[in-house]
Structure 1
C-alpha cells in the first residue's frame, strides 16, 4: 500500500474556521439521518443524499429537483473500489478500470430517474441480497465536476456510512427551495478537512487510572476541533522524553478490546502492549505511552466492520472485504497520533508494532521512529486466516 505524502500547507489551522467545521458536522449529521445537503461551486450546486440512508420520499424529492433544474439526470457516485466490485457483478461499466485503484478515486454513474431507494442501497451495499445489476439501467457518466464527486464521498465517509451518494445538479440561485442554508457548504472546503480535523486536537481532560498490570497510569483525552470522538493517550509510568519513548498506536476495536472477540488479535495486542510498556522500566512502573485511537476497523467504523465480517464469512479476506464495501485497504490517518505525541513532548519513539505502515505514517507526520519493536501473539482457530492476510497482503511482520 502506498502512503500519500502529507502536504504541510493542507494542515495549516488557519485554513479552517469554526464556521467551516460546524458546516461539515451539520452536513454529516443530516446525511446520517437520511437528509439532503448541498455542495456549492461557482453558480452550480449539487444536492447530495447518502446511498445507505436513502428513503423513497427523499429520493423522490431529488428526482423532482433534477427535473426542475432542467438537467433531468440523477447520478450515483461511488468509490472506484466499489465500482470495480459492481463491474465484476455485471454492471455495465468500462472494462478498463485499473486493478490497483487509488484510495481517493471515484466513479460516476447515471441512474434511471425512477430508480427506487432499495436499488440505490443495493448498489452501495455488498451485504444485501443478490440482485441483477444489468437490470437497473445504470451506466457510466462523467458530467459532474470532480469537486462535487470527491466532496460527496468525503462527507459520507465522515458520516461513517458506506461511501456512495446520490447527486443531482441544480442552479445555485434556486437552492432555497431544496436545502436549508445550514446544510450547504463549498465543495472546495472538503479537500483537506479530514486531515485538518485530525491534526488539530486539544487536550480536554486527564486522570490517574490504575490499570491491571500497570498501576502507574494516566489517561489523557484529546478532542478534535470538529467535535468528533476523542482519542486517548495512556501514559504508563513517567515519560522520559530525552530518549525515544516506547509507544504503541492502537486503533479502538469494540469487539476485540471489550468483548474479547477471537476474530482478531486486538484485545491481546492492547493488554500485551500495556504489560510491555509497564515492564520496560526496571522497577516495573513503565516508561511509555499507548495511544488509543478512535479509528475502528482500520478507519471504516464499527458498523462497516461488521459488514466486512459478513463478507469474510462469505469467503472474502480482510482486504477484499474492505474493497467490496468501497473503502481503501486502510482508511486510518496518522495525524492524530503524531499531534498527541507532540503535545506530550515526544519527538522520537520506539514503536511497538508489526505494521510497517505505522512506521511510515508516523514518520511522514514528523515523528522520528528509531526502532520497530515486534508485538506478536499466537493465533487461534478463529483468527488464523486474519493474521495470515495481515502478513501476506498488508505486509505485517510477524
Structure 2
C-alpha cells in the first residue's frame, strides 16, 4: 500500500529517532538488536537495554578502536563488551575523544571476536548518517522484534542502512544577481531520502553543449559565512564565483556536506582536537570517522539534472575528478584553485596535500 513508508523513508525516520535518543530496531536474517546512539543515550534507557540482554555491546569504528587500543577483530568495527558496573560516563568516554589526553587509559577493553558484526556495522552507518558520533549501543535479544512492535519503534533491515544513491528533485529556481559572479540563477534540489537540500548556482548562461566551468563546493559555515582562517573554503568559494564571472559562465554546486560530511557539530569536535595538537586527519580518525565522508555522486546528479555532461572542474582534489567521472560526467580539464593560504591554515593545507592527495 502506498501509505506505508518506503525503505528510504524508514531510514530517515530512524536517523531522526537516533538524534532524539530513541532506540531503533536493526535486523538481519541471523538476528536482531535494539540500537541507541551513544551521543543521545540516557541512563534510564541504558538500564532498559541491560534488562533485555546479558551484556550490551558498544559498537565503535576501527579508527576509534585503534585510538583506544581495543582489538577490532572485524577490521572496520570493534564490538566492545560493556561491563555490568560501567555507567553512562564510561560509555561516553569511549565514544567521544574529548578527554583522551587527560584520561588516556580507558581499558582494558574486551571486544568480541566470534559471531557476525553486520548489526554493529549497520548501527555505525546509521549514526554517521544522522551526523552523530559513530558509536552505538546494541542489545541483541530474541525479543527485539516483538519489543519494537510493542513500543512503536522504527525497524530497519541492516542492508537498508547501506549508502544508496540519493535522487534529487528540483524544487524551484530563480534569478539571483551576485556581487562576485554577476547575473545568475539559484536552483534548489531536494533529496528523496528526506535529507537537507543542495543548491546549484548557474552563472550567466552556460552552453549545455560545451564543457562548463564547474566547482563542487561543500558547505563550510565557518569558512563561507564567518570567514574562518583555519581553512581555505571561503576564498575558494569566492575565487570560483569570480572565475566563472571572468569566464562568462559557470556552475557552482553547493553541497550540504559540512566538515567533509560529518556535520558541523562533529567538525567542531575535530577543531577542538586540533587545538590539542592533532592534525585534521588525525582528529577525524580519533572521532571514529574516515578521512572524508562526503558523497560527490550528488554533484554528478545535479549536473545531469541541469543538462551538463562535460565540465572543466575547479578543484585541487583529484578525488572529486574521479567521483564525477564515475558518475558519468566527463572532466575535460582540472582547473587549479589555489587561494586562501594563511598563517593560521598552513598546517591544515600541508596535511591536505600530504594525507589527502590535494594538489597544492
State the TM-score, normalizing by the size of structure 1. Answer: 0.85
Which consecutive aligned stretches of 4+ in structure 1 deviate over 6 angstroms post-superposition? none
2:63 aligned residue (81, 85, 91): 81
1:158 paired residue among 129, 132, 136: 129
1:36 matched to 2:18: no
Distance 1:177 1:268 in 2: 49
Whether 2:44 is the aligned partner of 1:57: answer yes
Partner in structure 1 of residue 99 of structure 2: 128
Measure, in 2, the Cα distance between the counterparts of 1:166 and 1:133. Answer: 21
Alpha-carbon distance in structure 1 between the residues aligned to 2:245 and 2:190: 26
- Asked if residue 271 in structure 1 is aligned to residue 233 in structure 2, the reply is no
Q: Which runs of no fewer than 5 residues in structure 1 stay unpaired?
A: 1-16, 67-71, 282-286
Structure 1 stretch 155-164 or stretch 385-394: which is displaced more? Answer: 385-394
Inter-CA distance 142–179: structure 2 relative to 1 (3 Å threshold): farther
Q: Is the 8 A contact 2:310 2:330 kept in 1?
A: yes
User: Is residue 293 from structure 1 mapped to residue 280 from structure 2 by the alignment?
Assistant: no
Q: Which residue of 1 aligns with 2:164?
A: 195
176, 179, 189: which one aligns with 1:209: 176
Tell me the matched-pair count.
356
In the alignment, is residue 374 of structure 1 matched against residue 342 of structure 2? no
CA gap of 1:37–1:143, structure 2 versus 1, over 3 A, is farther
Does structure 2 retain, via aligned residues, the 8 Å contact 1:63–1:114? Answer: no
Other-structure match for 1:355: 317
Residues 33 and 144, structure 2, Cα contact 8 Å, conserved in 1: no
Q: How does 1:212-231 map to 2 (within 5 A)?
A: 212-231=179-198
Instruction: Give the secondary structure class of the aligned counterpart of 2:277.
Output: coil
**Backbone CA RMSD of aligned residues:** 1.9
Structure 1 residues 255, 144: CA separation in 2 closer, same or farther (over 3 Å shift)?
farther
Higher alpha-carbon deviation: 142-151 or 242-251: 142-151
Check if 1:185 corresponds to 2:147.
no
TM-score by length of 2: 0.94
In the TM superposition, residue 179 of structure 1 has moved relative to its aligned partner by 6.3
Q: Answer whether contact 2:236 2:340 (CA < 8 A) is retained.
A: no
C-alpha separation between the residues in 1 aligned to 2:149 and 2:95?
Answer: 24
- On the 8 A contact 2:25/2:145 being kept in 1, the answer is no
Query: What is the alpha-carbon distance in structure 2 between the residues aligned to residue 144 and residue 79 of structure 1?
Result: 17
1: CA distance, partners of 2:231 / 2:96 = 23
**Secondary structure of 1:195's aligned partner:** coil
Q: Structure 1, residues 265-317: CA drift from partner, whole Å, max 9, x if none? A: 11110011001011102xxxxx2100000100010110000010111111111
Written as runs of structure 1 = structure 2, the 5 A alignment for 1:212-251 is: 212-251=179-218
Contact 1:49 1:166 in 2 (8 A): yes
| 3-state secondary structure, aligned to 2:98 | coil
Could you tell me how far apart the structure 2 residues matched to 1:82 and 1:366 are? 35
Cα distance in 2 for partners of 1:128, 1:188 equals 34
Q: 1:48 to 1:348 in 2, by over 3 A?
A: same
Assess, with a 3 A threshold, how the Cα gap between structure 1 residues 23 and 143 changes in structure 2: closer, same or farther. Answer: farther
- Report Cα offsets for 1:172-200 as digits up to 9, x if no partner: 57632686344111112223xx332x3x1
Please say if residues 24 and 148 of structure 2, whose CA atoms lie closer than 8 Å, have aligned partners that are also in contact. no
> After superposition, where does 1:101-120 map in structure 2 within 5 Å?
105-120=76-91
**Distance in 2 of aligned mates of 1:395 and 1:45:** 40
Per-residue displacement from partner, 1:85-138 (whole Å, max 9, x unpaired)?
Answer: 111xxx5x37x99xxx7xxx2111112133211111110111136336455x53
**Contact persistence 1:65–1:178 (CA under 8 A):** no
Distance 1:290 1:324 in 2: 32
